[in-house]
Amino acid sequence: MPVSEKLPIFLLAVLLLNWLSISTAKKNSMSFSSFDSTKFTNLNDAEVPKDALQITPDSVNSNSHLTNKFGRVMFSKPFRLWEGDIIASFSTSFLINIFRVNKSTPGEGLVFVIAPDLQIPTGSYGQWLGLTNSTTDGNSSNQFIAVELDTFKEDFDPNDNHIGLNINSVVSDMTYNLSLIGVQLAPEKPANYTIWVDYNGTTTMMDVYIAQQGMPKPNTSVIQRSINLKEIIAQDSYFGFSASTGNTYQLNCVLSWNLTVEILPRKNMLKLMLAIGIPIIVTVTGVLMVVCYYMYKKKIRDDPRFLVTLRSLPHTPREFRFKDLKKATNNFDEKNKLGQGGFGVVYKGVLAKENMEVAVKKFSRGNIKGKDDFLSELIIINRLRHKNLVRLVGWCHKNEMLLLVYNYLPNGSLDKHLFRGVEPLNWARRYKIITGIASALHYLHDEYD
C-alpha cells in the first residue's frame, strides 16, 4: 500500500491515540520562591511569612520558646492522587535551611508530607515530628507518606543525620545515612539543601535525592522504594511540611518549593473517554487492516513479474495447476485431511492422469507474509535431500494462495503408530525411529548449507 494512501488513516489513528494520552496527562504545577499566606494553611506553631515557610517558630519572628514545638504548613487545596486503578505521578523539589541556634545541639527534624487533611495531632512535638503522637503512631488511619530529614537520634533511629521514608509512623521504613555523601543537615556553619521527591504512578516507584544548594540533581537517589499510594493515602490528599523540636531545637525553614502533580480524569470522564476512544480506535484499526489487505491482494494479483521470476529460478520444482490440485483433493474435502499444523492443512490427493498419490499442503493465508518469504521457503525446501525428509514434488500459487505438493507417505504419521497402533512398537523399532529423526535434525542444523 503506497505511503500516500496509508497516511490519512495512520494520522487519524495517531491523533486519536494522542487525544487519549493528552487527556490523561495534564499536570498541575506550582512554584514558590515567595509565599502567599492565603494559599497555605499553617497549623499549631507554624508560620507563613512572605519569604519562607517557618514550620516551627523562628527566633527572629517569635518571642515564644523554641523547645517542644510542632507545626505544619500545607498547601490549602488537595490533589486527587488515584482514580480507580490509575495512580497520579508527581514530582517536587524544595530548598530547606535547618539552623542551629547558637550552634546548639539540633532537634528533632523537618518532614515533607502527604496527608489526608489539614489537621495535626495534638502533642506531636519531640520525636513525633508533627506527624503522630504516642496514641496514633503506626495507625493505618493516619494515611500519610513522609520524607523525614532527621537531626536527632531517637531509640528507633540509625543516627542523628539521616533521611527516611515514613508510612503512617515516625519509625522509618527505609533510611539513608547522609554522612556517607558528605551532607550534614544541621551543620554549625549554615547551609541550604535541595531535596527532590519523584513518584511514578505507573511503576509506583518513589525516588528521593538531595544536594547542597546550587548543585545539580544527583544521578542516584538516596531513597528508592516501590509504594502503591492507593493502598496508603486518601484519594484526595494535601501536600506540605511538618516539623518538631524537643528538649533540643532548631529552626526549620522552607525557602522555596516546586510541585507538579498529574491531573487524573474523574471517573465519569474516564468512562466517557474509554467509551468513545476505544470504539473509534478499533474502527480505525479495522479499516486500516481491510484497506491494507485489499491493496496488498491487488498488488500481488496484478504483478505478473513475480511468477515470471519464480519460474525462472534454477532448480525450481514442478508448477502444478490449481484446478488439478483442487480436483485431486476433491476440492480439499475434509475426508482427505491428513493433518493440521500452525502453518496450514495437509490433504491427500490423487493425480488421476499420473495415477500418483500426493500430499498437498495448503498454507493459511495469514502465514504468507510476502513474496520474498514464499520464494525463500520454496527454494530451501526444494533443495533438501535426506532419506528421512519428505521430498517436495512441486508448488502452486494462485490468488495469494500457496500450495506445496509432497510425496505421499502411505503409512501415516509417527504419532499414529506410537499412540494408536494396533501393536505397540518394540524398543528396537523405537530406537531406529529416534536415530532417524536425530539424523534428519543433524542434517538440517549442521550439514545443510
Confidence at residue 411, expressed as pLDDT on a 0 to 100 scale:
79
Tens-digit pLDDT profile for residues 215-259:
999 999 999 999 999 999 999 999 999 999 999 999 999 999 999
> Do strands 70-75 and 236-244 pair parallel, antiparallel, or not at all (unpaired)?
antiparallel
Angle between helices 371-383 and 305-312 (to 10 degrees): 20
Q: Are 120 and 241 in contact (CB under 8 A)?
A: no
Instruction: Specify the pLDDT at position 363.
Output: 76
pLDDT in tens, 118-166: 999 999 999 999 999 999 999 999 999 999 999 999 999 999 999 999 9
pLDDT digits (tens, 9 = 90+) for 341-383: 767 789 999 998 888 899 998 876 555 555 566 666 677 777 7
Cβ–Cβ < 8 Å for 160, 184 = no
Sketch out the chain's domains with CATH numbers: 25-264 (2.60.120.200), 305-410 (3.30.200.20)
Cα–Cα distance between 164 and 96 in angstroms, integer?
Answer: 16
Average pLDDT over the chain reads 83
Top-confidence range, 67-81, 338-352, 431-445: 67-81
CB distance 79 to 237 below 8 Å: yes
For 392-436, what is each residue's pLDDT tens digit? 888 888 777 788 898 888 877 777 777 766 567 788 888 888 888
- Model confidence at 23, pLDDT cuts 50, 70, 90, reads very low
State yes or no: pLDDT of 208 exceeds 90: yes
The rounded distance, in Å, linking the Cα atoms of 293 and 276 is 26
**Tens-digit pLDDT profile for residues 50-64:** 889 999 998 766 556
- Is the model's pLDDT at 262 over the cut of 70? yes
pLDDT for residue 13 is more than 50: no
pLDDT at residue number 387: 82
What distance lies between CA 269 and its chain's CA centroid? 23
Kindly report the CA angle at 282 between 279 and 283, in degrees rounded to 5?
Answer: 85
Identify the residue with better confidence: 322 or 285. Answer: 322
pLDDT of residue 24: 45
| Residue 179 pLDDT level (bands cut at 50, 70, 90) | very high
Question: How much is the average pLDDT of 92-110?
Answer: 94
Cell of 75: 498547601
Q: What phi and psi, each to the nearest 5 degrees, are found at residue 395?
A: -150, 170
Residue 96, φ and ψ in degrees, nearest 5: -125, 155
Question: Contact 394/319 with Cβ under 8 angstroms?
Answer: yes
Closest CA to 193 of 108, 96, 106, 98: 96
pLDDT band at 311 (very low <50, low <70, confident <90, very high): low
Q: Does residue 1 carry a pLDDT above 50?
A: no
**CA-to-CA distance for 167 and 162, rounded, in angstroms?**
16
